[in-house]
Amino acid sequence: MNRNFSFLNSFLNVSEETFLELEKITEFKRIKAGTQLVKLNEVPSKIYMLVSGIIRCYLTTEDGKEYNKSFYLPTSFVASLTALLKNKPSQMVFETLSDCKIYEIDYRELMALSQRDRAINNLYSKVLEFVYIKYERRLVELMSLDAKDRYLALKEQIPNVDDIIPQYQIASYLGITAVQLSRIRKKMDSY
C-alpha cells in the first residue's frame, strides 16, 4: 500500500478515489536544507506534507533572536495555518533543516475540493483536530514542565533528536540557551 495513502488513513478512512483526487492537486518536490518554505510576512498559499527530512517553524523577535515553535518530521503536515485561514502575512518562518521531500498542496484548491467532496472535507477536519491536539500538548509542556522535563518530552517524541537537530535549535525550542541544555545533558549523563 502507498505510504502516503496509509498516512492519510491514519486520520480517517480515505477511499482510493479520494486519494486520487488529492493527488491531482499536489506536486512532489525535493527541497534543499536551509530553504524557507514560508517566509516572514509572506502571505502563504500552500500546505506541505513532509515525506522525508526535518522542517522547523520559528519566530524572530525585533532584535533578531529566533525561537523555535515546532519541529516537523516525516510524515506530517506543515503550514502557516493562521496566515492561510486569514489570508494574512505569516508571523512564522518555516525552514528546512535538512534536504526534504515534500508534497505541496495549494490551499485554495484544497478548500474548493473540500467544498465539493465530503470525504476530503472530513479528512481536512481530522487533520485540523490532530494539529490542534499537538499544539495544545506543546502549550501544556511550556506552561507546566521545567527545562529538563521539556527536553525529556522532546526526546520521547523524537528519540534521536540529539543526532538530527543541532543543539542550539533544540535549546531554542526548549526556551533555554545552548549552555543550559549542555548542563541538563551532563546532569542526565551522570545518573
Residue 57 near residue 100 (C-beta atoms within 8 A): no
Residue 50 near residue 78 (C-beta atoms within 8 A): yes
- Give 74-117 pLDDT, tens digit per residue: 989 999 999 999 999 999 999 999 999 999 999 999 999 999 99
pLDDT-based confidence at residue 179 (cuts at 50, 70, 90): very high
Hey, what's the cell of 89? 502575512
Q: How many residues does the chain have?
A: 191
Q: Kindly list the distances between the CA atom of residue 28 and the CA atoms of 60, 100, 175, in Å, as whole numbers in the listed order.
A: 29, 11, 34
Q: Compute and round to an integer the Cα radius of gyration of the chain.
A: 18
List, in sequence order, the alpha helices (H) in 70-117: 81-86, 107-116
pTM over 0.75: yes
Rounded Cα–Cα distance for residues 126 and 86 (Å): 20
- Give 119-167 pLDDT, tens digit per residue: 999 999 999 999 999 999 999 999 999 999 999 999 999 999 999 999 9
CA-nearest of 111, 59, 103, 104 to 85 is 111
Rounded Cα–Cα distance for residues 5 and 80 (Å): 23
